[in-house]
Chains A and B, each alone.
Chain A
Amino acid sequence: MKHRYLPITEQDQKEMMETIGITSLDDMFQDIPDKVRFKGELDISKALDEQSLLRYMRGLAGRNADFDRFASFLGAGIYDHHLPVVINHVISRSEFYTAYTPYQPEISQGELQAIFEFQSYICELTGMAVANASMYDGATALAEAGALAHGATKRSRLLVSCAVHPEARAILRTTARGLNLEVVEIGLTPEGVTDLADLTSKLSSDTAAVIIQSPNFFGCLEDIGAVEPLAHGAGALLVVSANPLTLGLLEAPGKLGADIVVGDCQPLGIPAALGGPTCGYFAVAESWMRRMPGRIVGQTVDRADKRGFVLTLQAREQHIRREKATSNICSNQALLALCASVYLSTMGKQGIRDVGKLNVHKAHYAANRLAASGKLTLPLTGSFFNEFAVKLPDGAANVQELNSKLLQRGIIGGYDLGRDYPAFAGHMLIAVTEQRTREDIDAFAAALEELL
């Protein structure tokens, strides 16, 4: 068969087999026992020519409701933010996307410097001393933070706020089971933030970490400064998960005493793509630098004393430490970290504040507009950035049915909080980014009023 990615012609194959000293390709596979040889044709999807494949894939893509055609009010960890056009041009440079992990620094300075700049951006936003080259996503980064806290404190109980993303908590539980750690959840106040009295009652000399998210899953800002003395008073580490886009306006968790700050960079110029790939970030106070998981890039000099960058602190890693490594992670999300860096380079000092303000203004306008008719109420009183919960009228259609009807009007509705929190059945979590116009918001409000 001929294929556009395969260059070996029949003549090539003949010459190569002569050099090897074989007469049939099969000679190279004689060491595979006949009993386990696969005979016949694999039962997998058939090949398509380029045009047919594009047509087929367009067909599949066309059956999904995308943000270009629908106005999205859905957040809950993945957001429809504007993607500055330069990002796609940069990450389409194949010198970046077709490279492997930068093992050969001489020919990988571009990627290494890009990661060094990413680490610098994360440190600047979070107020932390050190950041790694990135993690699979924000949720797995949170789980790794729990593992680090266990390693650092030799304690085995993790206190996690129930206002941390439900999926991040689920991954934390899976990770904790692997490491034989206990996960205890902290309740919520009526305002929609972590209950500090509940936290205080559950802190003990076994607590490795207190894990909170701000803005939390309900959109409310946590009082990190009030959690800090409680966590540290018990000798536990304070882990904060933060949406990095909010940190243009909101105080850096590092300035408020966090030991580990993690989060997902998706809001920084990364396409939603059904939730992945995104890019987790992981930043720590200096004391925990050598306990960090994942890749880290450091500055050094070459033999002519010229500045350059290398993968460093590798004594933590699996290819050297094997079963004693700080983590099994040996990759990062370099290309998505690059998206985040290009986004931050594009927004700059003023833009990161301006985009934050637009989100705050639009979300607050939407909250007031939605509550105006009296049908929807705002049950939580905590301060919020771009996401808030609304309560549907008692006895109204459930959130899932409502969202199906909204879809028919070109609107992707909010998240059904009852999915994870039985007490919040009939509540919708709504995200309003700088992408939504006043017209979108008014149309959303009008549709809800009509449907309820």
Chain B
Amino acid sequence: MSDNTNIPVNATTPTATTAHDKALIFEMSHPGRVAYALPESDVPEIDLNEVLPAKFQRQAAAELPEVYEVDVIRHYTALSRRNFGIDNGFYPLGSCTMKYNPKINEDVARFPGFAKIHPYQPEESLQGALELLYNLQHDLQALTGMDRVTLQPAAGAHGEWTGLMMIRSYHESRGEKRTKVICPDSAHGTNPASATVAGFETITIKSNERGLVNLDELRKAVGPDTAALMLTNPNTLGLFEEQIVEIAEIVHEAGGLLYYDGANANAIMGITRPGDMGFDVVHLNLHKTMSTPHGGGGPGAGPVGVKQKLIPFLPTPLVAKREDGSFYFDHNYPQSIGRVKGFYGNFGILVRAYTYIRTYGPEGLRKVSEFAVLNANYMLARLTPYFDVPHPRFCKHEFVLSGNRQKKLGVRTLDIAKRLLDFGYHPPTIYFPLNVEECIMIEPTETESKQTLDAFIDTMIAIAKEAEENPELVKNAPYTTVVSRLDEALAARKPVLNCSCG
């Protein structure tokens, strides 16, 4: 892959000294070219200096590149070809639920009636959008077993913080000062980080030898200062917390609440519900469970569901229905934690998620979870002879292996991941969760066929053999990518965070 602009036009840019096979858009600039076609002004011209005093005006023009439309398209097409998405191949990135992103979702979200509407339009001119939001609130309530859902949070971590702020307001409303949030050591890093920004202190408890919450540790950790326990179930090892009923009792008896991190909800749809397990607050990641595209890092959506006692604290507004069947934004929550996001959340993502739900319905969503779990257990069964398995029993939608056996041969988990790139796969999540050494975390999702799984498994087995017979081959991978083993230490030590194009 290359293009015809390998030689930077501006030889003074710092990047000019570095060899590369893809120019920056700034390096393609050729003064005089344009890629836009604005209308001529149809109103009387005014002197800008009259309406914009000099102190407000830009002294030096912003040095944006001057390119034409073909440059723009070729540049971004070239960049896209240097990127790997689900449509390119198998993407078993554990905890990220990289399932197929249906195309109908994309088409529907682009309907002008969804894409070209303003949040402050009169409510009577948004009834279709409000109905969609109302239905989605309802469906997510039913799916999670919660009493009310807000669609405002923009991402999972945003949902966590929203939920914890509600938990804080709930305790405060009862005149209780509870300052501690308990997280297992297998928790996602966002859990403790969200607890901090919600004003809590985090207590981390060690998992037991079965990879589950250690009830004795939990009993020791809870007390009158316990605000909440944050739990992912199935947890990040892909294991169901079998003692969830007892866990809920311990936390509730201490006066704390239970927070469900919905990162792994793809395992449980129609099979079990957080609300029935005893959770008081739940967030879902629609960009995982509900198939909305990850977009290279975002946008996502992290709706939060709560039980009755937390409803007064929900962020406003919520979408409500009048007796005459019309819909409106309900701002009347005097104890609300306030706003957490501009407007009504990531509406375009919510449209995609609702479209997805309507392709499956209740029976279909249950099948989704059953096949996600079947695929994971099949892979685990076939890979077990070749890799260390820290918790050899049925998993849910994902499982973890350890690369300890290969490490003894000098091949690290990172090397195995890089070697997978040569075979056209996105590697699994690696070195997470933190409580498994040389961790390899695999989540196939339900949208992958047996043939795809078999081909990947065979590749993993072949790499395990390579590690035994020719470890150097694995340690020096990848060989087929546009760049290989980038110097991350250099990037952090001498940060170059923009091209200083100006």
Which residue of B has the minimal Cβ distance to A429? B120
- Evaluate contact between A90 and B491: CB separation under 8 angstroms: no
The stretch that binds A, out of B60-68, B402-410, B459-467, is B60-68
Query: Contact check: which of A4, A50, A312, A347 meets B64 at CB < 8 Å?
Result: A347
Q: CB-CB < 8 A to B26: which residues of A?
A: 117, 120
Q: Whose C-beta in chain A lies nearest to the C-beta of B42?
A: A438
**Which chain B positions have C-beta within 8 A of A93?**
76-77, 80
Q: List A contacts of B347 (CB < 8 A).
A: 273-277
- B341 partner, pick from A90, A131, A139, A323, beta carbons under 8 A: A139
Contact with B along A271-293 (1 / 0, CB 8 A): 11111111100000000010000
Does A348 contact B36, Cβ atoms closer than 8 Å?
yes
Is the pair B197, A328 in contact by a Cβ cutoff of 8 Å? yes
Tell yes or no: B52 within 8 A of A by CB: yes
Does A409 sit at the interface, judged by CB under 8 A?
A: no
Instruction: Say whether B113 faces chain A, with CB atoms less than 8 Å apart.
Output: yes
| Min C-beta distance of B481 to chain A, whole Å | 4
Q: B492 touching A314 by the CB < 8 A rule?
A: yes
- For the complex, what is the distance from the CA of A165 to the CA of B156, rounded to whole Å? 25
In the complex, A347 Cα to B69 Cα: how many Å? 10
- Contact stretch, chosen from B121-129, B219-227, B253-261: B121-129
Q: Report the separation of the CA atoms of residues A364 and B50 in the bound assembly, to the nearest whole angstrom.
A: 11
Assess the B193–A271 pair: CB atoms within 8 A: no
Is B184 an interface residue, CB under 8 A from the partner? no
Interface flag for B471 (CB, 8 Å): no
Please measure, in the bound complex, the distance between the C-alpha atom of A138 and the C-alpha atom of B154, giving whole angstroms: 12
Give every chain A residue within 8 A of B108 (Cβ-Cβ): 53-54, 57, 61
- B residues in contact with A15, CB < 8 Å: 450
CA distance A273 to B299 in the complex (A): 13
| Cβ A167 vs Cβ B343 within 8 A | yes
B358 lies within 8 A of A53 (CB): yes
| A8 contact from B58, B86, B194, B449, Cβ within 8 A | B449
For the complex, what is the distance from the CA of A44 to the CA of B118, rounded to whole Å? Answer: 28
Q: Which residues of B contact A53 (CB under 8 A)?
A: 104, 108, 355, 358-359
Q: Is the CB of A277 within 8 A of B154?
A: yes
Task: Name B48's contact: one of A123, A249, A308, A400 (CB within 8 Å).
Answer: A249
Name the CB-closest residue of B to A249: B58
Interface string of A292-328 (1 = CB under 8 A from B): 0001111111111111111011110111111111011
Which chain B residues border A221 with CB–CB below 8 Å? 52, 56
**Residues of A contacting B394 in the complex (Cβ-Cβ under 8 angstroms):** 27-28, 30-31
Q: Is B129 within 8 A of A274, CB to CB? A: yes
Given contacts A113-B82, A247-B58, A330-B157, contact A64 B129 (CB under 8 A): yes
Are B344 and A276 within 8 A (Cβ)? yes
Asked if B360 and A47 make an inter-chain contact with CB atoms under 8 angstroms apart, the answer reads: yes
Q: 8 Å CB contacts to B: which residues of A336-365?
A: 336, 338, 341-342, 344-355, 357-358, 360-362, 364-365
Query: Which A residues, 424 to 451, have Cβ-Cβ distances below 8 Å to chain B?
Result: 434, 437-438, 441
List the A residue with the shortest CB-CB distance to B36: A351
Q: Please tell me which one of the listed residues B25, B85, B196, B501 contacts residue A96 in the complex, with CB atoms under 8 A apart.
A: B85
Contact status of A47 and B358, CB under 8 A, knowing A247-B58, A330-B190, A333-B298: yes
Quick one: closest A residue to B487, CB to CB?
A: A300
The answer to whether B20 touches A306, judged by C-beta atoms less than 8 angstroms apart, is yes
Q: Is B272 on the interface with A (CB-CB < 8 A)?
A: yes
* Contact yes or no, A352 B64, CB < 8 A: yes
**Given A54-B104, A124-B501, A345-B72: A117 touches B19 (CB 8 Å cut-off):** no
Q: How far is the CB of A75 from chain B (nearest CB, A)?
A: 9
Q: Contact: A300 with B491, CB < 8 Å? A: yes
Q: Are B365 and A306 in contact (CB under 8 A)?
A: no
Judging by beta carbons under 8 Å apart, are A249 and B52 in contact? yes
Contact A407 B117 (CB under 8 A): no
Residues of A near B5 (CB, < 8 A) are: none
Check if A318 sits within 8 Å of B36, measured CB to CB.
no
B231 interface residue, CB < 8 Å from A? no
Q: Is B11 in the interface zone, CB < 8 Å from A?
A: no
Roughly how many angstroms separate A248 CA and B58 CA in the complex, as a whole number? 7
Give the size range of A's interface with the partner: 35 or more
Interface residues of A in 97-114 (CB under 8 A from B): 97-111, 113-114
* Closest chain B residue, CB of each to CB of A323: B192
Bound together, the chains give a CA A434 to CA B98 distance in angstroms of 40
User: B21 CB to closest chain A CB, in angstroms?
Assistant: 7
Interface presence of A43 (CB below 8 A): yes
Contact B124 A404 (CB under 8 A): yes
Bound form: Cα–Cα A175–B270 in Å: 35
User: Shortest beta-carbon distance, B84 to chain A, in Å?
Assistant: 4
User: At the interface, yes or no: B381 with Cβ under 8 Å from chain A?
Assistant: yes
Q: Is B171 engaged at the interface, CB distance under 8 Å to the other chain?
A: no
Q: Residue on B with the closest CB to A7?
A: B449
Known: A248-B58, A250-B58, A346-B36. Is A108-B84 also a contact (CB below 8 A)?
Answer: yes
Chain B positions 20 through 34: 1 when the CB is less than 8 Å from some CB of chain A, otherwise 0:
111011100100011
A-side contacts of B244, CB under 8 Å: 33, 36
Q: How far is the CA of A411 from the CA of B236 in the complex (A)?
A: 51
Contact B361 A45, beta carbon cutoff 8 Å: yes
Q: Interface code A22-64, partner B: CB below 8 Å = 1, 0 otherwise?
A: 1001011111110111100111111110100110111111111
Name the A residues within 8 Å of B483 (CB-CB).
105-106, 109, 302, 304, 306, 308
Say whether A59 contacts B128, CB under 8 Å: yes
Give the residues in chain B near A86, CB-CB below 8 Å.
35, 69, 72-73
A181 to chain B, nearest CB (A): 10
Q: A373 within 8 Å of B by Cβ?
A: no
Complex Cα spacing A136 to B158, Å: 9
Determine the distance from Cα of A223 to Cα of B497 in the docked complex, in whole angstroms: 29
List chain A residues, Cβ under 8 A from B110: 88
Residue numbers in B under 8 Å from A312 (CB-CB): 488, 491-492, 495, 497
**How many whole Å from B26's CB to the nearest CB in chain A?**
7
Are B52 and A360 within 8 A (Cβ)? yes
With A95-B87, A362-B41 as given contacts, are A100 and B296 in contact (CB-CB < 8 Å)? yes
State which of A76-84, A152-160, A205-213, A389-397 sits at the interface with chain B.
A76-84
B297 touching A437 by the CB < 8 A rule?
A: no
A-side contacts of B262, CB under 8 Å: none
A304–B484 contact, CB under 8 A?
Answer: yes
Q: Is the CB of A28 within 8 A of B157?
A: no
Alpha-carbon distance A102/B365, docked complex (angstroms): 29
Q: Does A216 contact B (CB under 8 A)?
A: no
Closest to A93 in B: B80
Determine whether the beta carbon of B83 is less than 8 Å from that of A99: yes
Nearest Cβ on chain B to A292's Cβ, whole angstroms: 10
By Cβ-Cβ distance, the 9 closest A-B pairs, closest first, are A275-B343, A61-B113, A47-B361, A335-B295, A63-B128, A98-B85, A110-B83, A277-B299, A275-B119
New contact pairs (9) apart from A251-B57, A331-B300, CB-CB < 8 Å: A36-B277, A38-B271, A45-B135, A69-B112, A101-B297, A107-B481, A273-B348, A319-B189, A338-B296
7 contacts between A and B (CB under 8 A): A54-B107, A94-B85, A98-B101, A102-B297, A272-B115, A306-B483, A361-B46
